[in-house]
Amino acid sequence: MSSAIRRHWFLVLLACSFLVGYCLSAKFDFILQWSVARDSIVFGVMWAMGVTLPAGQIGQSLRHPKPSLLAIFVNIFAVPVLVLPTCYLLTDELFGGLFVTAIVPSTLASASVWTRRAGGDDSISMMTTVVTNLGCVVIVPIGIWLVLEQQIQVNPWLQVSKLSWLVAFPLILAQAMRSLGASSWADRNKAKLGLATQFGILSMVFWGAISSGVTSESDTKGFGGFAMMLTLTVCALLVHWVSLRIGVGLARRIGLGPDKQIAIGFAGSQKTLMVGLQIAIDCGVSILPMVIYHLGQLLVDTVIADRWKLRLGHGDAGRSP
């Protein structure tokens, strides 16, 4: 039991952070006023993630852009489209949170980790990560304006400015620092930087849980609330799994190899928790869909990556798991 907790300590703390923040939201609601501190955490986490991205792999993907473009298409268009029908199944607060989850960029960390675990081409996940994170400056405000305009009142131009500062700028700064000689330092301290980003994410989950607890709807409580949470979980898992299968299927259809198929599947279907939490809190929608989607992609993709690697070893990865 203790060894399992040591291996999955982040998932345990993630659940604890949400439960404590949500259940004790009335006691911690004063934290919601510390917007500068929250923005600083997001900036720091995005920089720490960006400074560990090796530019060489991005260059490799630029020379052969087709797989990355396919993954970007799945991430930016396919996932949000798959979420749209859930508006008939979920409350406005939960649908808003799930749609925000769908339009945020690909994750900076786990897409590459799971791609490598499956024996895939992680240059594709690197490129997809960079493009979708830079592109979210425009894509996220447009998506919110088109789909959630009636539900939330957020100035799209203000969102463009904020995302430019909190997402695009720290990534550009981090890569500039690597090119100026900080790459060796970042590579040596990759584990420490990764640990710092995980605690930054936990603090944002706690923050978002407080916000969700303060604004929670009465129809998400009791037995009806349990049924709604179950529906949300099924929707989130299905959206992730179907978008992954779409990525793999399209890659196979245009003749790409198994290593690129799985990279496109992971990079196209995974979403970053950090940016999703920031946008959900700003929009006043539930962060629970983002947390459930993130946990789901970690669990589901672990199984898929291990099965895919086994099939690659046997030479029959043409059949997706």
For 16-79, the DSSP string reads: HHHHHHHHTHHHHGGGGG-HHHHHHHHHHHHHHHHTTS-HHHHHHHHHS-HHHHHHHHIIIIIH
**Average pLDDT score, the chain:** 81
- Using the 8-state DSSP alphabet, how is residue 8 labeled? T
Q: Is residue 24 part of a domain?
A: no
Q: Is residue 23 part of a domain?
A: no
> How many other β-carbons are positioned within 10 Å of the β-carbon of residue 72?
24
Q: Is residue 318 part of a domain?
A: no
- HSE toward the beta carbon, residue 13, CA cutoff 13 A: 13
Q: How high is the pLDDT of residue 112?
A: 75
* CA angle at 13 for the pair 7 and 18, rounded to the nearest 5°: 145
Q: Is residue 320 part of a domain?
A: no
Q: How high is the pLDDT of residue 151?
A: 67
**63, amino acid identity:** R
Contact 236, 82 (CB under 8 A): no
Range of the domain at 181: 30-313
Cα separation, 299 vs 245, whole angstroms: 16
Q: Is residue 6 part of a domain?
A: no
Q: Is residue 155 part of a domain?
A: yes
> How many other β-carbons are positioned within 10 Å of the β-carbon of residue 54?
17
Residue 314 has pLDDT above 60, yes or no: no
- Enumerate residues 6+ apart whose C-beta is below 8 A from 91: 217, 219, 220, 228
Tell me the CATH number at 285.
1.20.1530.20
Residue matched to tokens 């279907």: 269
Q: What is the pTM of this model?
A: 0.80
Residue 11 has pLDDT above 60, yes or no: yes
Q: Is residue 16 part of a domain?
A: no
Of 35-39, 54-58, 303-307, the one with minimum mean pLDDT is 54-58
pLDDT > 70 fraction of the chain, expressed in percent and rounded: 85
Q: pLDDT of 276-295, one tens digit each?
A: 888 888 888 888 898 889 88
pLDDT level of residue 3 (50, 70, 90 thresholds): low
Q: Is residue 270 part of a domain?
A: yes
CA-nearest of 276, 295, 297, 294 to 286 is: 276
Count structural domains, the chain. Answer: 1
**269, amino acid identity:** S
Sign of CA dihedral 294, 112, 129, 321: negative
- Beta strands, E only, 184-294: none
pLDDT level of residue 55 (50, 70, 90 thresholds): low
